[in-house]
Amino acid sequence: MNLKCFAFFCCLFDFGHMFVIFVCIDNVMARPRKPGKIQTPPRAKAFMPVGYYKSSSEAVQLNIEEFEVFRLLDYEGLTQSEAAKLMQISRSGVARIYEKARYKLAKALTEAKKIDIEGGSNLFDNDWYECERCNSKFNSLESESPGTCPLCNSTYIHMVNN
Amino acid sequence: MRIVIPIDDNSLTSNVSDTFARSNYFALVDKENGNLKMVENPFKAMTKGVGVKLFEWLVDTHKMNALLAFEMGYKVQQMASEANLQIIIVNEQNKTLEELLNFMGIEPDSKI
Ligand SMILES: [Zn+2]
């Protein structure tokens, strides 16, 4: 923000430096962004088209953030600002992710492509686990693994990160 | 662990409700001693602010510390996270209360 103001200020007086300054801004913007918080893992790992198998090997990769933004805006009906607050990212970040998500989904539906939902650990509000016995998903309230499923007490659980 | 389960009607064969806050009934299950209580959702008809009332009622009045659901709106999820509750999301839609009690090792017949 400061850099932007500075750039604007300089532009008023010195057009010669505009190019350099904008390169700087671009560099700042290209820094890796903090990933948005995700509430719960998506229910399915992938979606498959039925009746058209030609390009099934080539899947559209929808990442979990894109899935979450799409879900919050179009399923939960939140505004971009509300979604941004919930995911702890900027509103413009939400807008960018939303555009990508919509394009990918439109592409998958139009071209009959498989949709893979890519994981990413440490994105969730809590760590999430899945029970291999009862297939439920549950959050972990402590930093270490819960050890057993809170529903059926099975010890066959694994972390959901993919 | 005291688990709240949203159910469509107040019977053991009831399905887990599709919605959490607007569920008709709740089953309040104490996993340790196997106690089961089915109560009507007093906030079902409320138009606004259901979540806050519902959480006060579940957590403060009924001392529940875990929520089980098939589907949970983002607000319920957010409040559950903030209240540090255990969230359990069951996989299939047609899980009945009876099946869930079996998973918990609770014999429902003797507890009704
Ligand atoms: Zn389990």
Query: What is the amino acid identity at position A1?
Result: M
Residue B30 is part of a domain; what is its CATH number?
Answer: 3.30.420.130
Q: What is the pLDDT of residue A70?
A: 96
With bands split at pLDDT 50, 70 and 90, how would you rate the model's confidence at A16?
very low
**Mean of all residue pLDDT scores within chain A:** 77
Structure tokens at B100: 């869930």
B3: chain A residues, CB-CB within 8 Å: 150-151
pLDDT above 50: residue B25: yes
With bands split at pLDDT 50, 70 and 90, how would you rate the model's confidence at B91?
confident
Q: What percent of chain B has pLDDT over 90?
A: 61
Query: Which range of residues forms the domain containing residue B102?
Result: 2-111
Report angle CA B39, B44, B46 to the nearest 5 degrees.
Answer: 140
Q: What is the pLDDT of residue A1?
A: 43
What is the tally of structural domains in chain B? 1
Q: What is the pLDDT of residue A23?
A: 40
Give the model confidence (pLDDT) of A39-69 as tens digits.
777 888 889 888 876 655 688 999 888 999 9
Please give the Cα distance from A47 to B32 (Å, whole number).
39
Q: How many other CB atoms are found less than 10 A from the CB of residue A10? A: 15
Give the model confidence (pLDDT) of A30-40 as tens digits.
444 567 778 77
State CA A156 to chain mean position distance. 28
B91: chain A residues, CB-CB within 8 Å: 43, 134-137
- Say whether B15 sits in a helix, a strand or coil: strand
- Say whether B94 sits in a helix, a strand or coil: coil
pLDDT above 70: residue A122: no
Rounded alpha-carbon distances, angstroms, from residue A65 to A16, A36, A60, B43: 40, 7, 14, 33
Q: What is the pLDDT of residue A161?
A: 62
Q: Would you list which residues of chain A are within 8 Å, Cβ to Cβ, of chain B?
A: 39-40, 43, 72, 76, 78, 86, 125-126, 134-139, 141, 150-153
- Convert A132-149 into a string of H (helix), E (strand) and C (coil): CCCCCEEEECCCCCCCCC
Q: How far is the CA of A39 from the centre of ligand 1 (A)?
A: 20
CATH of domain A36-125: 1.10.10
Give the model confidence (pLDDT) of B38-65 as tens digits.
999 999 988 888 888 999 999 999 999 9
